[in-house]
Structure 1
Amino acid sequence: MLLEYIEQAFHYIALGEKKVAEMRQLLAGEVRIGAGDTLCKYILLPSLESFHDEHPAIKIKVTNRTTPESIALLKEGSIDFALVNLPVTDPQLEVDKVIEVHDCFFAGPRFEHLRNQKLSLDELLCLPLILLEEGSNSRQYLNSFMQQKGYRLEPEIELGSLDLLVEFARIGLGVSCLTREFVDHEGSTLFEIDLIEPIPPREIGIVKLKNVPLSEAAGAFIHSFFAM
């Protein structure tokens, strides 16, 4: 009689133990990642491909948001970690640096006369500038650099993605600030403008909440990410 009442509970316990064992062996589970379009395309995708090949049973959820939005999602528990543009200063977050990148200005054939010339910041700011929209960490980094040099940025065009910045520069609408490591130079008509005072490099990193343990799947993904 007792067994009739508790038999179903035994089945649930056995099923739960099986699921926990599968997650520890990475036979089940989910990785929830926040990343902007550009970082997802150029940094995250190669890691996602190799991780999925090795652990096909793990579900992968990627939420495309800007760095500030990804951090907000992280704090509310909607994602496990985020791939973001640094610097990020927040006492609630743990930051691991991934790669160093360089913000540079690129132009198309319409500005061919500037190729192989060294430009001052004064000369650069006389050109029609195409920049990312305000609010992104990379734009804030550029703004901060220019302010330190005593300049204020007044772009002709502001856009929301790197791919659009590339296309607008390619057809000659202006000079775009792009991340050198994310520009495909092969077959491209774009060239980098040589600045007398180049923009200092910045970093891309992974952020997660301090003192909050990651799931087995999320921890394994980050381990494989840094092992690449």
Structure 2
Amino acid sequence: MQLDLYRIFYVTAKEKNFSKAAKILYITQPSVSHAVKQLEEGLEIQLFIRSSKGVTLTHEGKTLFEYISPAFDLIRNAELKITELKNLDSGQVSVGGSDSTFKHFLLPNIQTFQNLFPEIKIKLQHGSTPQILEKLVNGKIDIGLVHLPIEENLVEITDYLSISSTFVVGKKYQDLAKKNISIEEMLNYPIISFSEASSSRKLLNQIFSKRGLEVTPDVEVGSVELLIECAKIGMGIAFVTKELVLKELSKGELYEVCLNEEMQNRKIGIITRKGFPFSLAADKFFKHLIELNHKKQSI
């Protein structure tokens, strides 16, 4: 039996009138009558009792209506939900990244986005770069923010931010901010870094390995906040993203080590699943991030 016949029956049963059903369905009254007759013949039952005032359901008609109503109500609710999504009156975006990336680079942009689209929920999922890649590929998040470079054929990479790395110390080693020091000389001091799996630690290893050196940090931490505190109390030289310690540097709580060479900038990228379309909400959020970034770069 054709679904259109059931739809005409459903509307007619709700309106209890062939003429009203025809107006709602944008068809003629004879077309409604013909469709109902087809359905009755197909099911071999009478669905309506006709009268001059309209129609009423037979016992069999009521039974059929009770069963098909939830289906058509679900379709109607689905249409309303799609309309909400198109108007960005609802929706959700899942974003993966590290705590420090969220705090220092993403939260201000989330605030401006939610000012524009308060009904869209932003869900944050913490993780290291390998964990974020795994979540993205498995469809657990829509967007990831990770330190570049990465190697993964299943994702699209969009350059987002350029950040700088540096070495900082507390007051105990503040003399290192007053004289030029080489990478080799830093091995004479305790080194503070993130754990082995982090992208920051991998970069630190690369910096030393390029000079034929091997670095073994004396202190390994899991957060920027702990790394900063360890440096403050004089536990050693901390390797960190400079943008994350600007406040401490300006207050004189930390000092930037004066290297005799320049450090290369790093990049944070936005990663998305290759070949998978965004939801409307995720697409809007992605474009919001890119637009704000372009505005900052043009200032």
| TM-score under structure 2 length normalisation | 0.74
For 2:101 and 2:185, locate their aligned partners in 1 and report how far apart those are by CA, in whole Å: 30
Aligned to 1:200, the other structure's residue is in SS state: coil
Q: CA deviation at 1:3?
A: 4.1
Partner residue of 1:15 out of 55, 61, 77:
77
When structure 1 is superposed on structure 2, of 88-97 and 139-148 the one drifting more is 139-148
Match of 2:213, SS state, is: coil
Check conservation: 1:131, 1:165, Cα contact below 8 A: yes
Alignment match of 1:66 (pick from 114, 117, 128): 128
Once residues 115 and 81 of structure 1 are traced to their aligned partners in structure 2, the CA distance between those partners, rounded to angstroms, is: 39
Output aligned runs, 1:107-122, within 5 Å: 107-122=169-184
Give the Cα separation in 2 of the matches to 1:70 and 1:79: 8
Q: Deviations over 1:19-56 (max 9, x none)?
A: 01111111111100101011011011111111111111
Shift, 1:81, TM fit: 1.2
In the aligned structure 1, how far is the partner of 2:167 from the partner of 2:70?
66
For 1:215, which of 264, 279, 298 is the aligned residue? Answer: 279
Q: For residues 72-104 of structure 1, what are the alpha-carbon distances to aligned partners after superposition, in whole Å with 9 as ceiling and x for unaligned?
A: 111111111101111112111100011111111
Q: Report the count of equivalent residues.
A: 228
Equivalent position SS for 2:151:
coil
State the distance in 1 between where 2:288 and 2:207 align. Answer: 34
Secondary structure of the corresponding residue to residue 250 of structure 2 = coil
Q: Which residue among 209, 212, 223 is the counterpart of 1:147?
A: 209
Letter in 2 for 1:149: R
Which contiguous aligned blocks of 4+ residues in structure 1 show a shift greater than 4 angstroms? none
Structure 1 residues 188-197 or 38-47, which shifts more?
Answer: 188-197
Q: Give the secondary-structure state (helix, strand or coil) at the position aligned to 1:206.
A: strand
Where 2:106 maps in the other structure, the secondary structure is: helix
Which residue number corresponds to residue 130 of structure 1? 192
2:244 partner letter: F
> CA RMSD of the aligned region, Å?
1.2
Of Structure 1 and Structure 2, the greater strand share is in: 1
If you compute each CA radius of gyration, which structure gives the higher value, 1 or 2? 2
Aligned residues of 1:101 and 1:204 also touching (Cα < 8 A):
yes
Range that drifts further, 79-88 or 5-14: 5-14
Deviation of 1:211 after TM superposition, in Å, equals 0.6
1:43 aligns with: 105
Deviations 1:172-207 (A, max 9, x none): 111101111111233241111111133311100110
The alpha-carbon deviation at position 4 of structure 1 amounts to 4.2
* Correspondence 1:205 to 2:269: yes
In structure 1, runs of 5+ residues without a counterpart are none
Q: Which amino acid aligns with 2:277?
A: P
Identity %: 35
Output the CA distance in 2 between the equivalents of 1:112 and 1:78: 45
More displaced, 211-220 or 180-189? 180-189
Higher helix share: 2
- Cα distance in 2 between the residues matched to 1:213 and 1:160: 34
